[in-house]
Structure 1
Amino acid sequence: MPVTAGEIEQAIREAIPITHVEVEDNSSGCGEKYAVLIVSKEFEGKTTLARHRMVNQLLKSQIAQIHAFTQKTLTPQQWEESQKGPKTAA
């Protein structure tokens, strides 16, 4: 039985406090390839590698059932900065 985006999102929400989460099925609906964006204060002070290891651990059972998994992990401040539009010269 394939893993669903909802199952991945629920596991994330239950494991860490989040500000924002997006789970995208990149496998045309078969549940074999997912990309996630997670925004959480839990990532503050951690390297990208430490953040990814944390997510890999909390989604260990789901990741074991899928073919491909990519993640982007941001702090709330990094998320806020990424949402600002490109600056244009006046």
Structure 2
Amino acid sequence: MDLSADYLREKLQRDLEADRVEVEDTTPNRCASSFRVLVVSSKFEGKPLLQRHRLGNNCLSEELPHIHTFEQQTLTPEPWAREQQK
């Protein structure tokens, strides 16, 4: 299984119809076992944090058993735009 940042980025982008996806391999030696992701998607509209994270987890349900650490930030487009203006 390819657990590269690019692979995860493409899958999250496609499945969550995301406006923006950033994936960082945070493993010290970049061996692809720990990731930090940012996903901006309108699919998160009206959903609390837990439901947004579940959408991300469900998207990567096959990959997560092979990932040691998975940290995610899930935003809708409006808060993301406000954050970028700071």
Q: Report the TM-score, using the length of structure 2 for normalisation.
A: 0.92
Task: Flag as ranges the 4+ runs of structure 1 deviating above 2 A.
Answer: none
Q: Gaps spanning 5+ residues in structure 1: where?
A: 86-90
Deviations 1:4-33 (A, max 9, x none): 101111111221211111000000311010
Is the contact made by 1:21 and 1:36 (CA closer than 8 Å) also made in structure 2?
yes
Is the contact made by 1:43 and 1:73 (CA closer than 8 Å) also made in structure 2?
yes
Based on CA coordinates, which of the two structures has the bigger radius of gyration? 1
**After the TM superposition, which of the residue ranges 39-48 and 12-21 deviates more from structure 2?**
12-21
Distance 1:34 1:9 in 2: 11
Aligned residues: 85
Distance 1:37 1:51 in 2: 12
When the two chains are superposed, the root-mean-square deviation of aligned CA atoms in Å is 1.2
Q: Gaps spanning 5+ residues in structure 2: where?
A: none
Q: Report the TM-score, using the length of structure 1 for normalisation.
A: 0.88
Q: SS where residue 45 of structure 1 aligns?
A: coil
